[in-house]
Structure formats: structure tokens, C-alpha cells
Structure 1
Amino acid sequence: MPPGGCESHSGETDTYHVSVGRLFLLRCHNADAHVNVTWSNEGRHNLSLPTGVEVRDRSLWFLPVQMSHNGTYTCEKRGVTGSSRMKYGVSVSCGECPDPSETVSITKGASEGLPCKQKEIFRLNKTRNIRWMKDCRPVDPSFSVDENGVMRLPPATEKDAGKYTCLVDISLNGRKYTSARSTQLTFNNDTFSAEPYVVFPQQEVVVVEVGTRVELKCEAYLGFSEDLEVFMYWTVDGNYTEEHEELSESWEPTHKRGVVYGQSTLSISKVQWWFLNVPICCHVVSPTGGKLGFVRLQEADHSALYTSVTLCLTASLGFLALVAAFLFFKVELLLAYRKLSTHFAKQRAPDGKLYDAYVSGLHQDTLSSAEMASFALQILPEELENKHGYSLYIRGRDDCPGQAMHDAIAATLRQCRKLIIILSPLENPSTYGKTEEVPLCDNQNQLCYEQKVGLYDSLTQNSPRVILVEIGGPVDYSGLSESLRYIKRKQGALKWKKPSFGTHRLTTLRSNRNFWKSMRYHMPSVPSRSLRTIV
């Protein structure tokens, strides 16, 4: 043979045709695990195997096939019953697709399957990829291939004759190999007469939306001639389509690879409830009988969407309910939080303040002055100081006569964390703030000195915070200073309800329970006395 030539050689028995560069496995027939197997290569002076051929698990491996592997290989089996020999011919060619090792003849119109016939490769249980070639070109995509490598042909025509090669891609020891086996397909002279049948649908389920338009397709194999007396039609739950105005159908023959198929379409202009979950059948009728294809309409499952919407709405409503509860019970929630914090939270460092609040009043007449004095000197300290431990500086109780009043008041205000201004109704509110002097509250028609200083510091330095308290009825702010009106607009005022005549003071405290909650809400979270206990 000329160097580099591709001449083929045949063995005496069971000749295998292989291609250069392919993976090939040769197994000794009927050689089980209890048989001793020896391989040799005839034509070599010492019967040894050529380079690239080795024995693994009693099989002959060509890794990969080379031109020098042409020849006859002998398998000698020795067992308890004696010994025997079998010869195998290996014919090597240069082409990508080897010569056919066998010929398969089928009948025109028959739907046959071609096996890959590489069971030795499949026995390796390796991940593999199977490809088919016709005359060394990729086959028609309409040819289906199953996991075992069997290629299913549609109703065959003479154009399908040719050489078919099954290629198996496999990875061994980190290296990729391809094994190839070819089969010649021919046609015999037999006559094949196949009855029409439905290709699809076959027990199909189509998901639809009620009220929408849907088209259902049906395809049927009719044979090799349009002259056959075959027709197609649809039924819905056993009824013809003419009985429903939403239904219309059409069908026409088509040609694929020389074979006649019927294509029928059922159009549903509007899906109604009674079209769901009932048998919808495509009928193919011929002189030899009839065939059916089934399809069922199923409504789209919106449970996941409904669940998501429900969860979103529930979460939104829950959030709104929490917000509303917080707004409605924010005073109670904050007070409860403060109470718990005193037990679990770390102690806070002193802020340097001596008093929790500076209490000052603004009133008009004697009656208002008496009521304000009672509230400022008795009711307020009893609740805040005696019950809750707050420290108050109250004008008229804690100031000392003879002090330089303006300086003392300014210094005391800076030692207070809040400024409580008590307001009462005035007979002539327009008289507020008309004089340019700054008295110590000798003229009750004007803001007291501490109130002006406290409001100024509160608006400019945010300290101390101001708490407005109205007693004795509604207060007209139109005649008050702009700073007081601003505080009123920004945070409102607490309203103390005057007890009715003859009512005991304890009853008054109960009726003003919400007032005291709001007062504690605006007061510092920790009384200054508690802060001063920290060393």
C-alpha cells in the first residue's frame, strides 16, 4: 500500500469498517468473566498487537484508530470446557464516516428506526452525545433520536436511501473521543399501505384564559396521495362544531418529503366555561377506519397570583393598621417603652440639668390667677414630682426673694430640660405684648421674662423644649406673640379640664388621665433625679 494511502482491507469473518482517528472497541463474543481471553494480530511476525491497540477488561481498544490497525484480530477463549478462536476483520478508511458495516432494507412509506449498534460504547456508562449523519451530512431535523441512539424515520421515501452514520462523542480519562458506525439504507419492492393516523395532538392539555381567542392545531398522516377519500373534523364534548357559534374549523393537505399530511385548525373566538376540561377531538376518517387525537382546555392557574395579591394586601393593611395603632396609641406605646427601658436598658449619663421642667404661668384676672396657682403649685407637682419622680422649678415656689431676678431666671432656665407655659383665657387678649418693657410678670398682660427667654432659646437652640398647657377653657392666640403662635401651630397644646363644682380633686385626676399621659409623653424620658443617682 502506498505511504499515506487509504486502501481498505477486509478480514475473514465479521469485518468492521472504521475511520482513522475514531474510538473503536472490539469485544470477543460470548466471553464472560469466567473465560480467559487472549488477543493477537495476524500478519505480524510475533502476533503482537500494534501500537495504539490495547486490551482492557477482555476487550480490544483502539485509542484511536490508525491506518496501521488494518488487519485481522484473533480472540482465543480458554475455559473449563476447552478453548476456541474467533477472527475479526478491521477495515480502516480515511473518511470522517466509515464504510457501511451492514445494509438495511425497508419498505417505502414505512416508519422505521435505525439503531446505532454501538453497544460496546454504551456499556461504558459514560456521558455521551449522539449524532446522526446521512451521506456524511447532518440528518433532517425531523428525524428524532432517542436516548439509546435509535433514529426514528418518518414515513420513508426513496430520497431517504443512503449511508447513515451514528457518531457517539464520549470523554475518557480527560480526553474526548468519537466512535462511528455506518449503515446502508435501501428500499425493497414491497408495498406498504398505512392507514391515516393523527400525528398530534395526543392527550394534549392547553392552558387558556376564559374569554380569550384560541386556535387548536391537528396534523394527520394521510399517505402518499391526495386522492385518498380522507377528511378531518372536530368535536367538542361529543358535539359538532356547528352547534357552537364560537367555533369554526378548516383543514388543508400539505406535503412533507413526498408524504401527504392533513392540517386542521379549530378556532375558538371566545373560550367559554363549558369548553374547559371536556374532550376536544380531532377526527381523521378514511375508508379503512377512523383515528382520534385528543386535546383538553384548562384554565390558567392564578392561585399564585391571587396568593401574592392577598399577601401584598394583607401586608399593606397590616402595615396601615400598625401605623394607625401607633398614631392612636403612640403615647401609651412610648410610655410603656420607657417603663421597660428603665429595667433593661443601660443607665444614661447625667446631662448636667438640675430640673426636668420650668413651670411658668400667663393669666389675666384674679379668678384665672387662683386657678393657675392651684394647678401649678398643687396639682402639677403632686402628679409629676410625687408620682413619677420629676424635678420641677415653679415660679412662686422655688424662686428666692432678693435675687438679681433676671440673671437668676436666665441661669435657672438653662438648668431645665423643658419649659411648661400655663395659659388661661383672657378677657381682652389684644393687650398682650403691647408694652416694650420686660417685667417679671408684675403686669400679667405681658409675657413673663422667663417665657421670653425660654421661647427664644427653644426656637434658636432647640433647648429647652416648650410644653403649652391650657386651663380654664380655650385660649385665643391671636393677641399672643408670634413665637407662642408658632409653638401652638407646630406641636399644639395640652388641655386641662376644669373640674365641675363640688368634684373631689382625685376625681379630677381620673377625668384628666389622658392629659397626664400626654404630659408624661412630652416630659423627659428619665427624670433628672434618676440621672443624678449615677456616680
Structure 2
Amino acid sequence: MVMMPWMIFLLFTTAEMRNKYITERYEINIFPPFQSTTVFVHDGEHARLRCQLCNESSPIDMNDLQTHGFTISWFKGNSKSGVVELLDNGTRIAAQWPLLGFWPASVKDTGRYFCSVFNGTHNISGPNVSLYVIPISEGCYSKETEYTRNGCIGSSTRLVCPHMEEFKDNAKDLKWYKNCQEEVATGLSLEFHSLGKENAGHYTCVLSIEHNGRQYNVTRTLELTLTEPYIEPKLIYPHQEHIEVTLGERRVINCTALAGHKSKQDVRLTWEFQQRKITSCKPEASVCKDPRRETIRNDGVYVERPLVFPKVKEEHLNQHFNCVLHTSVNKMIGSIFLQEKGKSAVPPSVGLLFSAIVVLFILACVCAYFKVQIALCFRDLTGRDETCGDNKEYDAYVLLLKNDDTLLNTHEEQEFAFKLLPAILEEKFGYRLCIFERDVVPGVASAESIIFYINKCRRLIIILSKEYVDDHFSSTYELMTGLHQVLVERKIKPILIQLKPINNTKSLPESLQLLLKSKGTVKWGEGKHSYFWKKLRYLMPAKSRQVHTGNQ
């Protein structure tokens, strides 16, 4: 017996009233009306609708209901006539638990569908599912079936083919096309690691399914629209500007700000003077602002606000005019400072102070560079003598580090230590040197003599040679005695003379290495009048008695 339309409508109404009943395992409620969904499909394509019930807002496994003896029926409601039609299980529209399939869908299938499950006692209805079938158009997509997705240039995004949950088992067969032409990918989603302007457009995902020997398509289209990345508004000009002007001239100074990629009404630019806003230009104004201007460039929208001086006056000079950029979250200030052309705005006292600092700095540099020459001139002019009353007999003890085999000490080193050095320091500048080989009486105990004579000297001159670094020496005790006086008792000041370059100093005694690092050396320079002798005199004690036989 065929069920009459009014009986089906009555069954539907009764089913809605019975949603509160409890079945053997479930307390079942239909979804609220506002949770109904809409499925879009092209005319001639395959569509699927799913029956969904919920238990306290949680989806119920429909297969579990089927095992407990429930059956399912599908209905289509006609909004114009109010008639509800029962859908028989046919070839083109086929119900297969819990789905309703259209092979294919046509424009006349557009409407509201719902399902009802029945276990012999109760009918429980599911929510409405609206099917909207779009007529075939010339393109591969229709505006009515578009899904939109927004992205930002430079960011990453992932496009997922929408409402394809019913076809997830066939996801590997899904193909993506851009603007209906280029096939760009396969699979359920499309990845973009860094979006560019060229990525904007329509993306269509197409899934082809075989049914009863025929191929049916399922198509979805997304429109990807891109926006420029957000740029924090910032003040471009001015920052802290000093501008030279001429009295009486007309002058226009632009305050410029980068507003972003689009003009924003919350970006305000204005001029202030003495914490009060400068007004718009009027004929009687001595200073005013012109209307805001906007310029579109590749990197965004620039906003300008001109400050106008119809005639620059005395009252405008040496004053700060501030350009203020207001945004929704920030405030930036730049200023201009007008000064008359050719006149400095710096007070005279500040200029004098700066000049004095520069002069002192130059003098300090000159003194540091010529300190040796200056010190020697000061000694000669003042007759300064630091040797009086110290009870010392000699000005310096000369120590040539030598090997047991005296042949290892070159003729040049012996000539320097025993002839040239005494000739210059003693005969030319009046110093008195103690040279062990020359001044100690033969036969006197060596150790006692060394201590005795070093204690009678004001300086200890140590002449370094390359041979000392490479071999063993007879002057070790003499050296250690002198270093003890220098480093421990601090009774004598050292002077280190380097005759030849020494590449490796690690074999020297640690105390001598420490002395080299802290005091440095006087390097031998050829000639009696070289800087070497001036530096050596600078390190020697100051003496008023000098013997001059020529220029220094």
C-alpha cells in the first residue's frame, strides 16, 4: 500500500515529538534546526548526504544502530506545498546506510532532506540537510559554489578541499586545478610554504568516481584571496632636523609617514608647536598646516602633512616644531629646528668649551707621541738631577747575557756592550756604567762581587741576544741576582735592550718573560743620533752633568 502524502507529513510530525523517548541503548535527540547543513553540487555531478543523530550533542555510530535493528528512511520536504515525500531506493537516488547518494544530482533535486530511523516502536528524525544543485555553467566553477580562503603574502597556508569527508577513502585520486586550466597538485590538500601575489586565484579540486560503469565527478572550488603583510606605521621624516632658512622666505616642510599597504583612518599626522596643535592654513596665519596627502608606492601608502611658513620670521627661529604621528597603539614624534642661514644655533660658551676639549685632546696626543723628546728637553732646561744624595756610585749595571763559550757571543754584541754603549753614555752624556768584565778586580769572589756592584747601581741594563735564547749560559746567576733586585726588592729599575729580533722567548726564565711583557724593550737602531739613544737616555736617571760633543 502506498503511503499518502498527508500520512507521511503526520509521521514526520509525530517523529519530531518522539525524540525524547529512550530506546534500548540511547537517549536520542535531533540536531537543533540552526545546525542544518547545506551541500553544493554541480548539475550532473555525484552528491552524498549523511544521516546524523546525536546523543547529548555527541554523534552516534549509525552502524551500531543498524546492529540493534534500526532501519533508515529518507524524506524530501517541499517548502512551497509543505508536502514531505518518501524517497524510494532507486537507481539514480539510492539509499545505502547511512548515506543517500545521487547518481547524478540534477537541478530538480535541490531541496531539504532529512532521515528517520525506526526500530519497530519509535521513529527518530535527524537534522535537515539542504542540497543545492547548481546549473552547468561555461566555466569549471560557479560563484554560487565557491568557498573563500584568505591568506597573507609571505606566510604559509594549506588549502583543504571542503566537504569531502564522505570521500576520504578516495583522497589520493583528487586533482587540483588553478583557474580551470593548470593542474597543480593531487591529494586532499594543497600546501603553500610562502604565498606570493601570483598564488591568488580560484582552485578547483575534482574527484572522479566510478559507479555502475560510469564516471561521476565531485567538484569543489576555493577562491584564495591575498592581503599584504601588516606594516607598523612609522615616521619617515623629520627625526631631529636642523634646517637653515632665510628671513622673509616662504618655506614648506613635509612631515612624512608610512601608513601601511592601505590608507588607514586611524593613522593621524599633525604638527604641534609648544604642545599646541598648529591650525589649518588661513590668510592671517604666520605658520599653518596644509591638508593631508596620500601617495601609493610599491612598499605601501605614504601620508604627508605639509607645514607652511608664508614668511619666515624671527619668532620662528631657534624653536622646535613637532610632527606627531598617532596610531591606534603608538605615538611617534619628530621635530624641526629652524636657524638663520650662516648663523650657528650653538651658544658661544658651548663652542668655546668644545674648542678647548679639542685643543686638549690634540695636546694629549702630541705629548704621548713626543713624550721622550719633551722629557729630555725638560731635563736639559731645568738641569733636573735625580742622582743627588742617593749614595749610588754607578748609573747603570750593564749585563750582557752570554754563553759559556764566548765565541757564541758575536763580535757585534761585544762591541756594543763593552765599547759603543760606554762611549755614548759615559763620554757623551756623562753617565757612569758598571761593566763586570771591566770594573771588577780579577780574583774577587764572583757571587759576592755581583751583589755588591748591583746594589751600587741605579739601573740594570740587560742586553738580550739570540744566542741566550738557544743555549746555556754562564751569566745565569748574574741575571737572577739582578731580577731579584728588580722584581722582589725593587731597589733598581730595569732597561731591556734588544740587539736582534728574538722570535721565541719561552726558553727565558719566567721572571724575565714577565719583565718583557710589563716593560718592553728598547730596540737597537743604527747610528749615534737615532731615536734609540733618546729612548735610552729617557729611561736612564736624570743628570745635570752632561758632556756634549755634538747634536743629540
TM-score relative to the length of structure 1: 0.40
TM-score relative to the length of structure 2: 0.39
